[in-house]
Amino acid sequence: MKITDLLAVESIKLGGSATDKKDVLIQMVDLMANSGKVNDKENYLAAVMAREEESTTGVGDGIAIPHGRCKGVSKPGLAAMTLPAGVDYAAMDDEPVNLIFLIAAPEGAGSVHIDILSKLSTMLMDDDFTEKLRAAKSVEEFRSIIDQTEAEKDAADAAKAAAAATANLAADAKAAGTDLIVAITACPTGIAHTYMAAEALEKAAKARGIILKAETQGSAGAKNILTADEIANAKGVIIAADKKVDLARFAGKQVLQTTVSAGINKPDELIDKIVSNQAPVLSGDASAAASAAGQEKDSAAHTFYKNLMNGVSHMLPFVVGGGILTALAFLLDMANAGQGFYGSGSFLAYTFKLIGETTFGFMLPIFAGFIAMSIADRPGLAVGFVGGAIANAGYTFSYISGVVAVNQGLADSAPGLTSGGFLGAMFAGFVGGYMMLGLEKLCEKLPAALEGIKPVLIYPLLGCFLIGIIMFTVNPIFGAINTGIANVLENMGTANLVLLGALVGGMMSTDMGGPINKAAYVFGTAMLAQGTESGQIIMAAVMVGGMVPPIVIALSTTFFKNRWTKQDRSGGLVNYIMGLSFISEGAIPYAAADPIRVIPSCIIGSAIAGAMSAAFHCTSPAPHGGFWVIAVIGNPLMYFVALLVGSVVGCLILSFLKKPIQEEA
């Protein structure tokens, strides 16, 4: 498909005129309607106007690319107009607009159409191309200029893609003695500005001898994706986006956040800020991120971890919100403690409990959905979500047969359900994600005419059905595993619980927010979801272990001042709050500066705290909150003792290992 396949002759107007921005947009919508691609002009015009309210589509240099996506569009299309006298369009550079391309996209437009429209957007960054269009004497010449330029761009892009397949940008930058910069561009609709910003940044960097790679997060998914090796070796990151971009992978890097329009119009200024180290550094465990990043290209384990953590990070708000709300329900219903209806014995308590349990119920579907989305992008989300929901419910073929038998009067009851739990949901996420990649590969052979219905019909219909069949088949296995784990925990003696508490507590201090820390936390929340007392004991040990590292730092900087600089002591005070709030990352700057002394001290302190918490049978129905949820902690006094002893021991070890320094207070 070519650009001119979307640009009908009747949708082009040369030598036009308009009184203002609204007038030109109305004319452009009329031109689009001339080609039969719009079935509801008012609806489409409203969508175009709504996009203009977000930010102007007048990108500068006399060019505007208005666009709209709505049900009023029946087919993807383009309309074009030249205005020799120009029109005031409130463009980014405040100059009149004299060349306009209007984009129409139906809801659920296929990726082929989006790729075509994004290609046009980047072509419009070429001044020679736009000047030829403005000077065109006929519609045929206008279309011919587009065809010729598109053919040249396709050839150039193919050569670029071939070179990129074997390129090592980090090594190339080092060999050339220049900087490597990475970027992400994204706009709300992901059709035009996303790709124009990427093009502008890459052209500006190339002109200065700098290597820059831009990942585009458009409506058809992320393209030109940054590898962890490129991120690890980049001098900095430019985020030119008008929508939320996940920054977790850029921990420890300079990150300059700006608008997509700045990426189009001020690329040199943005690059200057990175080169001159003027951009802020994103907080986080840079060393851990870099270590993991360096292995991503060759390591299947890191790919697995990345996909898993995408599910975990999106799941946690549901775990935390639902868990704490449910815990508060029990706190509000203390008068009925020990009763079968404990937690729902009053209107207020049951309100909290119902909201909390509903929130918590989304945990596994969200977890599976975003694992699948990490693997297969948007087509994976619904499939993973459905698989996670079925795993959570525990549906099986035997259950279906039992219900049918009951309905037909052949049986008195159906078999019971056993949730596949965390492992079942994880299985659903990974299988669903890779299954969708395979389905997308198979659908590449379908006719181009079906491109638009793939994401809205074929992928969700086949994907959801297939993951359902798969989960009905394997749920008995995961249900049995889940039941086995619950039985082991319930029958685990005190000594074994203490050892497990020490293990998960120590893990929370190993990398403080890194893979080991997250593995321990995910294990704790999975055990909490079992609904057993042992699960709550493990969750309490995990949480107290994560609270220790910042408090170790805070105590040492307070009571052993001669071991720390004045700046260290000032920062140490904040760690009291961070520790009590269960934010282990407060200790990261100190661990990064002196890992040999800080990390072992914190691990020992956390392991002791976790072991003591388990030994005292402290329980936590809340998966987060730290000391601020002490009211719902079982055996709260001894929980505080465990936290205090672990923190003091860690502080003493650390302060002994560190040598006094000579500095004025």
Instruction: Show which residues are catalytic.
Output: 67, 187
| Parallel, antiparallel or unpaired: strands 221-223 and 236-241 | unpaired
Helix axes 494-510, 515-528, angle to 10 degrees: 140
Tell me how far apart the alpha carbons of residues 434 and 105 are, in angstroms, rounded to a whole number.
28
Closest CA to 475 of 382, 397, 369, 371: 397
In contact, 256 and 184? CB cutoff 8 Å: no
Find out whether 68 and 47 touch, Cβ atoms under 8 Å: yes
3-state secondary structure of 546: helix
With contact defined as beta carbons under 8 Å apart, do 154 and 100 qualify?
A: no
- C-alpha–C-alpha distance, residues 527 and 486, integer Å: 8
- What DSSP letter does each residue of 150-216 carry, written as one string? HHHHHHHHHHHHHHHHH--HHHHHHHHT--EEEEEEE-SS-SSHHHHHHHHHHHHHHHTT-EEEEEE
Residues in the chain: 665
Q: Alpha helix locations (H) across 491-594?
A: 494-510, 515-528, 533-559, 566-580, 588-593
Q: What's the start-to-end Cα distance of the chain, in Å?
A: 71
Spatial separation of the C-alpha atoms in residues 73 and 42, rounded to whole Å: 11
DSSP string, 583-613: -GGGGHHHHHHSHHHHHHHHHHHHHHHHHHH
DSSP string, 303-367: HHHHHHHHHHHHHHHHHHHHHHHHHHHHHHTGGGTTSTTTT-SSHHHHHHHHHHHHHHHTHHHHH
